[in-house]
Amino acid sequence: MNSQLQPHILIHGHRGARGLAPENTLAGFACALKVGVDVLELDLRMSGDGKIVVHHDRKLNPDLTRIEAGTWLTPPTKPLDHYTFEALQQFDIGRARPGSSIIKRFPRQTAQDGQTIPDLAMLRDRIAPALDDGLLLNIEIKSDPLKPEQGPTPTDWATTLVDELNTLGLIDQCWVHSFDWRVLRQIHALTAKLPTGFLTSAQPDFDTITAHANSASPWLDGYDPEQFSHSLPQAIAAAGGHYWGPCFQDLTRSRVAEAQSLGLEVHTWTVNEITHIETMVDYAVDGIISDYPDRVRKVLAKRQYVLPTVFED
Tens of pLDDT, residues 82-91:
999 999 999 9
**Can you spell out the DSSP letters for 199-256?**
EE-EETTEESSS-BTTB--GGGTT--GGGGTT-HHHHHHHTT-SEEEEBGGG--HHHH
Assign 1 a pLDDT band (cuts: 50, 70, 90). Answer: very low
Residue 69 in this model has a pLDDT that exceeds 80:
no
In sequence order, what are the beta bridge partners of 175?
138
Q: Is residue 111 part of a domain?
A: no
d(CA 164, CA 145): 23
Q: Rounded to the nearest 5 degrees, what angle is found at the Cα of 139, between the Cα atoms of 233 and 216?
A: 40
Assign 6 a pLDDT band (cuts: 50, 70, 90). Answer: low
53: left (phi over 0), alpha (psi -120 to 50) or beta: beta
pLDDT over 70, % of the chain: 98
Q: Is residue 84 part of a domain?
A: no
Q: Is residue 269 part of a domain?
A: yes
CATH number for position 129: 3.20.20.190
Q: Rounded to the nearest 5 degrees, what angle is found at the Cα of 261, between the Cα atoms of 256 and 262?
A: 100
**Can you spell out the DSSP letters for 130-153?**
HHHTT-EEEEEE---TT-GGGS--
- Comparing C-alpha atoms, which of 169, 187, 170 is closest to residue 178? 187
Q: Is residue 201 part of a domain?
A: yes
**Can you spell out the DSSP letters for 45-62?**
EE-TTS-EEE-S-SB--T
What range does the domain containing 210 cover?
10-61+118-302
Model pLDDT, residue 215: 87
pLDDT over 90, % of the chain: 94
Contact by Cβ (8 Å): 244, 202: no
Q: Give the mean pLDDT of the chain.
A: 96
What is the H or E stretch that residue 176 is in?
strand 174-178
CA distances from 88 to 63, 175, 239 (A): 16, 26, 36
Domain count of the chain?
1
CA distances from 238 to 144, 148, 283 (A): 22, 25, 23
Assign 70 a pLDDT band (cuts: 50, 70, 90). Answer: confident
Q: What mean pLDDT comes out for the span 139-157?
A: 97
Q: Rounded to the nearest 5 degrees, what angle is found at the Cα of 230, between the Cα atoms of 228 and 232?
A: 80
Q: Is residue 137 part of a domain?
A: yes
Q: What mean pLDDT comes out for the span 52-72?
A: 94
Model pLDDT, residue 251: 98
Model pLDDT, residue 212: 77
Q: Is residue 256 part of a domain?
A: yes
Q: Is residue 270 part of a domain?
A: yes
- Comparing C-alpha atoms, which of 131, 187, 197, 189 is closest to residue 162? 187
Contact by Cβ (8 Å): 139, 162: no
Contact by Cβ (8 Å): 293, 32: yes
Q: What mean pLDDT comes out for the span 232-236?
A: 98
Q: What is the pLDDT of residues 104-132, one digit of tens each?
A: 999 999 999 999 999 999 999 999 999 99
Q: Is residue 170 part of a domain?
A: yes
Model pLDDT, residue 2: 38
- Of 3-12, 123-132, 133-142, 221-230, minimum mean pLDDT range: 3-12
d(CA 281, CA 306): 13
The three-state secondary structure class of 187 is helix
Q: What is the pLDDT of residues 165-209, one digit of tens each?
A: 999 999 999 999 999 999 999 999 999 999 999 999 999 999 999
